[in-house]
Structure 1
Amino acid sequence: MKPQTNQPSPENIMKIGTGFWASKILLTAVSFQLFSKLSEKKTMKAKDVKETLGLKCTDRNVYDFLDTLTVFGFLTREGILETAIYSNAIDADTFLDINKPSYIGGILEMMNNRLYGFWGNLGEGLLTGLPQNEAKRSEDFFGLIYEDPEKLKEFTNAMSGIQMGNFMTFAQKFEFQKYNTLVDIGGSAGLLSLMVAKYNPHMHCTSFDLPPVEPIANATIQQFGLSDRVKAASGDFFTMPIPNAEVVVMGNILHDWDEENKISLMKKAYDALPANGAFVAIEGIIDDERKQNVFGMMMSLNMLIETGTGFDYTFADFNRWANIVGFRTTSLLPLAGPSSAAIAYK
């Protein structure tokens, strides 16, 4: 955010007010797989991009699109207009090329296909307190996602994409030398378990999610060649006990629910742990003063859009719930970007 000065300026107002322009430019580039195609070709002229993507707009529109992405830092450019040659900047080449294992575009694809439209109803969500997604047609949002194979695949890729950097950091920074087993609750495609196993050869991990997700997780596990130490298991963490392990992880799970259900899930994790075991929640933990982690606060509003009653939380909130459940102590481990691992020890 722009620092406050004594002189008024409309700059920040216009920057935030037109933020959906910038968002849609990036989301459109991802939906076109522009960065993947550029990674394959290494460099492209605007006319080549136009032809490859099948664009029917004017050349000037293409220049505006590519040059804006350049100013944003996603592309690099040599020359100008007709002579310009474009290539991926390092971040886009690493994280937005669909052919690389580091691809995080799944969450951006879901934002473009689902959330962009739903967020247009944020005002209605605030006025009514009701979700603004598919649940407007059915009360069971997660049921709708899990019964549609295409929606489930998109959702799984999105959850993997938004957390991949956190999973890699967590796998390398957490004190796994004290433990041997881990279960990831709501593990989706199994990437957290895979990252932990990759960086910690002694660890045995289980990715636990609803039955429709198990084939997706198994395919990912086979892709990484870690089936000897990473398994997928099926079940409903609300209706059955959480599998026992020395470390129980929930990534982007607690924030889906209201406070009562958050505490209930933490109690289930507590029951699954041995003495000195660790429960870990990986999310955009909001700073206690609520002045810095704007991503966490926006994600919390996204939970209004998605669930109506879910919300993101501060470490102080987490400590209070951990105390209610009976955990012995807590700590906070910063991860990638605005996310952290809130840890409670039994």
Structure 2
Amino acid sequence: MSGLITPMALRVAVTLGLPDRLRDNPATAQELASELKVDPLALDLLLAHLTTLGVAELTDAGYRTTDFGALLGAGAGNGLNNLLHHDSAAGRADLAFIDLIHSVRTGEPAYPVRYGQDFWTDLTEQPHLREAFDQQMNNRMSGWIPQVVENFDWSRFGTLVDVGGGHGSLLAAILAANPDMRGHLVDLEDSAAGARELFRERGLEGRTEVTGGSFFDPLPTGDACLLFDILHDWDDEQAHRILARCAEAGQRVLVVESLGESTEFDLVMLVHFGGRDRGLHDFERLASAHGLRLESVTQVTGGRSLLEFTR
């Protein structure tokens, strides 16, 4: 329970690209050190521990990635590489847990303590972090989208405004399953550009609009505004601002969140953003300040519920 060695060894291995580099081309620590511009003795110590973990194995030609270790590769399809890499959005943010004590003492995120500015500013200023974050969200959503589309009646809405909808994979799936609907996605411009491309690829450009902008600004109008995993990123003050914009834009607000079911995830939200998962009554309290009344609760995935609020 006290060991940080193995988690950090795995993160460093991913950041150096070792799982991919050694998959089919074994090498000694000395050979790799020159290639990666790291210390050969220190690298040998790291590789020895990765061998103990079963991530690598020592052969006559040097260290080689095992089948198990290949799960950490960039192309493994499980999202782990993106989550562990020091220079991805999630991997970078998780390193702020070293300052968890700051968050517990103050209730504020630890991310700015480590990096000098908040998570979202970092994403704005460093496009590769925004790209990694969008990929992380796409990886997370891929398994949920069929359930979300199937487990709720979306056809009741003529126009759905997906607020903070990323690259648009969820909205595209909803529209594909409901041909009479239209969609309007709102996200920061880098993500919005990805959504426009996805809608073109899927032949949905005639039924969609995309606005590059912040959900703290006035939103386009529609029959319903969808907030999928948005509010848990923010403290109550900012959550009120987002809900106020949604209440202005539509008669209904659809909030999809986990209802406080993971203590671990709560701490992630706190350290990264100063946010948290909330319970049902917390959402009702937030929404009521904007004239929104809870109409129904629908479980749409194993860990997510859709709360439908009516203005």
Residue among 45, 59, 67 paired with 1:87: 67
Q: Following the alignment from structure 1 to structure 2, what is the Cα–Cα distance between the partners of residues 33 and 178?
A: 48
1:184 aligned counterpart, secondary structure: strand
Structure 2: which amino acid aligns with 1:280?
A: L
The residue aligned with 1:68 is 53
The residue aligned with 1:315 is 280
1:295 aligns with 2:264: yes
1:246 aligned counterpart, secondary structure: strand
1:233 positional shift: 1.3
The residue aligned with 2:8 is 24
Q: Following the alignment from structure 1 to structure 2, what is the Cα–Cα distance between the partners of residues 31 and 188?
A: 25
Q: How does 1:194-213 map to 2 (within 5 A)?
A: 194-213=172-191
Q: Following the alignment from structure 1 to structure 2, what is the Cα–Cα distance between the partners of residues 207 and 169?
A: 20
Structure 1: which amino acid aligns with 2:53?
A: T
Moved more, 179-188 or 211-220: 211-220
Structure 1: which amino acid aligns with 2:106?
A: T
1:220 positional shift: 3.9
Q: Following the alignment from structure 2 to structure 1, what is the Cα–Cα distance between the partners of residues 221 and 96?
A: 38
1:168 positional shift: 4.2
TM-score (norm 2): 0.73
Q: Following the alignment from structure 1 to structure 2, what is the Cα–Cα distance between the partners of residues 115 and 345?
A: 32
- In structure 2, the CA distance between the partners of 1:112 and 1:131, relative to structure 1 (3 Å rule), is closer
Structure 2: which amino acid aligns with 1:210?
A: L
1:263 aligns with 2:240: yes
Q: Following the alignment from structure 1 to structure 2, what is the Cα–Cα distance between the partners of residues 153 and 34?
A: 22
1:47 aligned counterpart, secondary structure: coil
- In structure 2, the CA distance between the partners of 1:85 and 1:144, relative to structure 1 (3 Å rule), is closer
User: What RMSD over aligned residues (CA atoms) do the two structures have, in Å?
Assistant: 4.0
The residue aligned with 1:131 is 109
Q: Following the alignment from structure 2 to structure 1, what is the Cα–Cα distance between the partners of residues 269 and 46?
A: 35
1:340 aligns with 2:304: yes
Structure 2: which amino acid aligns with 1:24?
A: M
Structure 1: which amino acid aligns with 2:277?
A: D
Q: Following the alignment from structure 2 to structure 1, what is the Cα–Cα distance between the partners of residues 185 and 200?
A: 13
1:222 positional shift: 4.1
The residue aligned with 1:157 is 135
- Where structure 1 has 5 or more consecutive residues not aligned to the other structure, the ranges are 1-13, 39-43, 288-292
1:248 aligned counterpart, secondary structure: strand
Residue among 252, 257, 260 paired with 1:283: 257
- In structure 2, the CA distance between the partners of 1:128 and 1:273, relative to structure 1 (3 Å rule), is closer
TM-score (norm 1): 0.67
The residue aligned with 2:249 is 272
Q: Following the alignment from structure 1 to structure 2, what is the Cα–Cα distance between the partners of residues 112 and 328?
A: 33
1:121 aligns with 2:131: no
- In structure 2, the CA distance between the partners of 1:195 and 1:161, relative to structure 1 (3 Å rule), is same
Q: Are the equivalent residues in 2 in contact too, given 1:332–1:343 (CA < 8 A)?
A: yes
Q: Are the equivalent residues in 2 in contact too, given 1:36–1:97 (CA < 8 A)?
A: yes
Q: Are the equivalent residues in 1 in contact too, given 2:284–2:293 (CA < 8 A)?
A: no
Q: How does 1:5-84 map to 2 (within 5 A)?
A: 14=1, 17-18=2-3, 20-28=4-12, 30-31=14-15, 44=23, 47=26, 57-58=43-44, 62=47, 64-65=49-50, 68=53, 82=59
1:66 positional shift: 5.3
The residue aligned with 1:331 is 297
- In structure 2, the CA distance between the partners of 1:138 and 1:246, relative to structure 1 (3 Å rule), is same
Q: Percent identity?
A: 21
